[in-house]
Amino acid sequence: MTTPRPTITAEMLAAIIDAAPSRVRKRLDREPNAASTWQWNRDGLCWVISAGEETVRLTGNSNHEITQPKDITCSCLLTPKCFHVLACVTLLPLASGNDSSPSNDEDQTAGETALPDEQIEITAAMRQTAIESMHAIDGVMVSGARASGVIIQSSLLRAAHQARAEGLIHLSAALIRIAEGIQRLRRSDDHTDCELLRSDTVTAIDAANELLGEQTILSAKLGFLRRQFSPTGVKRLAGILAEPILTLSGFAGVVTHLTGDDGQIYQVVETRPGDVALIGQAYRGGIELGGTTASAQILSRSHMDVQNMSCSPDGRLGKGSKTRWVIEPSRGSAAPRNPPLSARWTAPLRDQVAAVFDLAHEPDWKRRGGWDLVCIQGKILGAHGLGVAFELDESDIRLTLGISIDHAALPFRENLQMLARCPGLKVEMLGRVRLERAGWIDGLSLRTFSDDLVLPDSWAGRCHLGLDRLQRQYFRHATRFASEVDDAHQQAPSATIAGAASQVNLFPGLDRRCTSLVIGGRGSIGPIASTTHRRDHARLISRGQIAAADILDAVAMACSEAPAVRRREGEIQYTDQFRRPLVLAAAEQYLRAARGFYEREKWMRVVG
């Protein structure tokens, strides 16, 4: 007979998961049922778990509930933030009596074994997990993220853990991001991003709703615990770009972009749990590549002969012991200064931007790394607001170079300020398109065509703006101060578009209400008869946006409904029960499609 286990309150579970380091949560992702293989023994109100060489003790009250931090101890030095405690408590049922723990008899999860294009049957356990996830999300939308305390956070985190155990990796990750976004919002953290929180909420709703409405689903939509790699025939690689990685989830490092002899773009990624200080270490330190070691600084400026390579669907290269790398570093003026670029980057800018927008509509799992990068050639004009004005060769098209990651420890801002002091400097720039702001490209790496900029020999003629630091002595004709470029003389539409792309209110009231529903809850949305609603509805109708007006009404009506309860004559169907989440998802889908079309048209007008 299986030893019975205590229950744990939602508050305690949330507190323990919140306190656990991200690397501990990552380990639990790989081993969600680790504690189920450990020896559990009951001694009165105390449960003793033998976790290898360590021992975890769980002490319950008279109702066999764990309600206080002192009820949980571990013999290891990291307690209570250790893996042993986290693995044990996430296996316990909630004190409500609803045991949503995954069955230990389940087969290995689809995310661990299935191919990306394989159809997976949606099980009853997966649907139940989706329902619990929708309940948690609806709880956020009732109270609002700003007022979501530990109870709501713990329901999100519990649903996320349950989703992982069922192999619903994308859903689990979205729920965790929601919980982390709520925590940042309630702490008034500098990194709070309400739009990102809204986007993560919609992502989780879409993932859960598809599980409720379909019989089968592509395994790629579920996600993978471990990245899938398959053999690739690439034999020759050339480094073109290195850029820093700094995530809100606590990881930092560097990604190196390379082009292959097959015309594809590949990445070598080196990240670890830590802060921004790890970026410099990852860039200048060694990366294990098969039987050799090289830094991202060297890889991004080298040609490589490779064998036995493997690649993930998003273009990330394997670095296992079976791979073989022969690295030819490029140094000095005699080094090859023009590595082969992807065919997409040699096309006119208009075609490059169109290709980026085409890929933007694809699911994340279908896009390769570097899908939103473009290559431009032209000259620096000077400072332009928070960026640097840039004019393309042989045209009057003017763009603005922006900052990719605005962090004091990274040289992005300093390097762009230095470039703004060098009007007329001709460069080739690799950058990332800002889809939401026409005319703006985040500068990532430059190659100079002029003797006015002489870079160190070890840079091989290329500067990675987020990792290398430009010095005044590298420039021959830098001015003391940057001059602001005046847009008044531009014949654009590019001048008007590039500056005002993100300032247009496409759908009066609707966009704002979607954000308010997530941040402030249903109480922040005025009723359908309110003056504000009638005014915004009339504005949409007058502009011919009939569909947007109907969605505005649907949002107001969904928010006027009380939180879902179970009726005596039977359970409410999920399409009614989760009306708020589904209406938000429908509104967001409409807004994204309309905004994407609008921004694409503005970009096309900017680039001619």
Task: Report the CATH number that the domain containing residue 381 is assigned in CATH.
Answer: 2.40.50.140
Residues 23-45: tens digit of each pLDDT: 886 687 567 668 878 888 888 78
Q: Residue 438 corresponds to which tokens in the numbers above?
A: 């026409």
Structural domain contains residue 72: yes
- Of 450, 488, 447, 442, the residue nearest 468 (C-alpha): 447
Say what the pLDDT of residue 497 is.
Answer: 34
- Residue after which a domain boundary falls, among 459, 474, 489: 474
Q: Residue with structure tokens 């946006």?
A: 545
Question: Are 352 and 322 found together in one domain?
Answer: no
- 525 neighbors 509 (Cβ within 8 angstroms): no
Structural domain contains residue 544: yes
Averaged pLDDT for residues 458-478: 90
Distance CA 78, CA 64 (A): 25
- Of 331, 268, 327, 332, the residue nearest 303 (C-alpha): 327
Structural domain contains residue 388: yes
Q: Residue 385 corresponds to which tokens in the numbers above?
A: 């607001």
Question: Are 419 and 531 found together in one domain?
Answer: no
Say what the pLDDT of residue 566 is.
Answer: 46
- Residue after which a domain boundary falls, among 91, 106, 136: 91
Dihedral angle over CA of 307, 311, 317, 319, nearest 10: -60
Question: Length of the chain, please?
Answer: 608
DSSP one-letter code for 484 = B
* More confident: 601 or 248: 601
Note the helical H segments in 166-295: 169-186, 194-213, 219-222, 277-284
Question: Are 148 and 257 found together in one domain?
Answer: no
- Residue after which a domain boundary falls, among 202, 222, 242: 222
Structural domain contains residue 487: no
Q: Residue 154 corresponds to which tokens in the numbers above?
A: 């713990």
Say what the pLDDT of residue 339 is.
Answer: 58
Question: Are 462 and 584 found together in one domain?
Answer: no
- Whether 410 shows a pLDDT value over 80: the answer reads yes
Say what the pLDDT of residue 341 is.
Answer: 66
Question: Are 50 and 166 found together in one domain?
Answer: no
- Whether 90 shows a pLDDT value over 80: the answer reads no
Q: How confident is the model at residue 574 (pLDDT cuts 50, 70, 90)?
A: very low
Q: Residue with structure tokens 């970009």?
A: 603
Question: Are 18 and 36 found together in one domain?
Answer: yes
Give the amino acid at 11. Answer: E
Question: Are 324 and 355 found together in one domain?
Answer: no
Which run of H or of E encompasses 432?
strand 426-433
- Whether 102 shows a pLDDT value over 90: the answer reads no
- Of 432, 390, 378, the residue nearest 243 (C-alpha): 432
On average, the pLDDT of the chain sits at 82
Structural domain contains residue 512: yes
Say what the pLDDT of residue 99 is.
Answer: 34
Q: Residue with structure tokens 């004709």?
A: 477
- Whether 103 shows a pLDDT value over 50: the answer reads no
- Of 363, 377, 274, 376, the residue nearest 314 (C-alpha): 363
**Domains identified in the chain, total number:** 5
* Full domain range(s) for residue 201: 119-222
Residues 315-327: tens digit of each pLDDT: 999 988 889 999 9
Instruction: State CA 412 to chain mean position distance.
Output: 20
Q: How confident is the model at residue 134 (pLDDT cuts 50, 70, 90)?
A: very high
Say what the pLDDT of residue 402 is.
Answer: 94
